[in-house]
Amino acid sequence: MSQKLANATGLYMEGIRDGNVRAAVEAYTGDRYTQHSTGVADGVEGFVEFFNPFVENNPVRDIQVVRSIVDGSFVFVHVYQDIGNGEAKWVTTDMFDTDEDDKIVEHWDVIAAYSDEPSVNDHTQVDGPTEIVDEDKTEANKALVASFVDDVLVHHRAERIVDYVGEGYIQHNPLVPDGIEAFQNFVAGSGKEMIYRNVFKIIGQGNLVMVYSHVFFGQELAVFDLLRVEDGKIVEHWDNMEPLPDGPQPNSGKF
């Protein structure tokens, strides 16, 4: 595990899961900690002020880092949380930037409820492969995903999906079935109402590529799309969406 990823997972596991809030944020962040999480202020004290009450109010916390990406100074983690033995379940997608000492200096996240209800594709929001492979193809896979996002998600060219998406396409959005045809129908139908206002960041490692975007889909959203690439085609997709907060925030906002 890289030191960048170790610091990011340490902040999660030691700070939030294990409840060592101050010790973890002081150990794993750098000279600054710029925060984009809803309701959380910048810096060590902002983290402590938010998470100390969370830890005290939720003594049972099962947190699992399911997938991760390290790309340059950036780290991404795909996380499942079970709070209070099922009282609340969350999918959290987080991106961290790090300094020259691999310490965390900035954080973005999207948090959404984990659903136990059956999905139309028989997958959960977090299941599927987790292993990083094909690290020599990282840049090619990032370029493929960037073109896919521009062609299909930004410009809604449903007919171009076959240029980017492979047979047996697996979908983890609970409302969208597996397969190319279902995805084409979504993009050509209700997906036309999904407007990617700004693609904020694309990072990748091997077969996994993450896209963080500002999207309008009935409301303003922060959206993480995570895609798995195999043999030059996108073969699997996870996403996570969170409405942008109303009113002023104690930080500079989701982006």
77 HSE (CA, 13 A, CB side) = 24
Q: Using an 8 Å Cβ cutoff, are 227 and 209 in contact?
A: yes
Per-residue confidence of the chain (255 residues) as pLDDT tens digits?
899 999 999 999 999 999 999 999 999 999 999 999 999 999 999 999 999 999 999 999 999 999 999 999 999 999 999 999 999 999 999 999 999 999 999 999 999 999 999 899 999 999 999 999 999 999 999 999 999 999 999 999 999 999 999 999 999 999 999 999 999 999 999 889 999 999 999 999 999 999 999 999 999 999 999 999 999 999 999 999 999 999 999 999 999
Residue the block writes with tokens 């409840």: 19
How far is the C-alpha of 254 from the C-alpha of 220, rounded, in Å? Answer: 11
Contacts 24+ apart (CB under 8 A), 78-87: 78/126, 78/226, 78/238, 79/12, 80/114, 80/126, 81/114, 83/58, 84/58, 84/60, 85/60
Distances, alpha carbon 52 to alpha carbons 180, 191, 204, in Å: 45, 40, 33
Q: Find residue 241's DSSP bridge partners.
A: 223
- Longest Cα–Cα distance in the chain: 52
User: Please, what are the domains in the chain?
Assistant: 3-113 (3.10.450.50), 135-243 (3.10.450.50)
The Cα–Cα gap between 111 and 88 comes to 12
In angstroms, the CA 95 to CA 112 distance is 15
- Per the DSSP assignment, residues forming a β-bridge with 208 are 205, 228
Pairing of strands 104-113, 61-71: unpaired
* Per-residue pLDDT at 94: 98
Structure tokens at 120: 């139309």
- pLDDT confidence of residue 1: 86
For residues 15 and 19, give the distance between their C-alpha atoms in angstroms, rounded to a whole number: 5
Q: Where are the alpha helices (DSSP H) in 167-233?
A: 180-188
pLDDT at 191: 87
Q: What does the alpha-carbon distance between residue 196 and residue 151 come to, in Å, rounded to a whole number?
A: 11
Regarding pTM above 0.85, the answer is yes
Q: How far apart are CA 217 and CA 99, in angstroms?
A: 34
In the block, tokens 């899961």 appear at: 17
Q: How far is Cα 39 from Cα 223, in angstroms, rounded to an integer?
A: 17
Backbone angles phi, psi at 173, to 5 degrees: -70, 125
Strand 29-35 and strand 104-113: the pairing is: parallel
Q: Which amino acid is at 66?
A: V
CB atoms inside a 10 Å sphere around CB 186 = 19
Q: How many residues does the chain have?
A: 255
Report d(CA 95, CA 33) in Å as an integer. 13
